[in-house]
Amino acid sequence: MEKFIVGFFMGIIGMGYFAIGKKRANFVFLISGILMMVIPYFVSNWLSLSAIFLLTLIAPFFF
C-alpha cells in the first residue's frame, strides 16, 4: 500500500515537472518529470522509491 501511495504522488509531481520543463524548455525538469513517472514501475521497495523520489524532486534546483 505504501508503494502505491508514494508512486501515485511521484507520478503526479512528475507530471507537473514534465509540464514545467516542456513549457520553459528546461531539459532538467523535463527529464526529472519523466523519471518520476517511470521509476515506480521498476522499483519494488517503497523506501528506496521514496529516496529516489526525494533525489529527483530536488535535482532540478541544483543543476
- Which pLDDT belongs to residue 11? 93
Question: What percentage of residues in the chain have a pLDDT greater than 90?
Answer: 81
- Is residue 63 pLDDT above 90, yes or no? no
Domain count across the chain: 1
Residue 39 DSSP one-character state: G
Contact 15, 32 (CB under 8 A): no
What's the grid cell of residue 38? Answer: 517511470
pTM: 0.86
- Which pLDDT belongs to residue 27? 93
Under the banding of pLDDT at 50, 70 and 90, the label for residue 2 is confident
Q: Which domain holds residue 18?
A: 2-61
C-alpha to C-alpha distance for 56 and 36, rounded to whole angstroms: 7
CA atoms within 13 A on the CB side of 3: 10
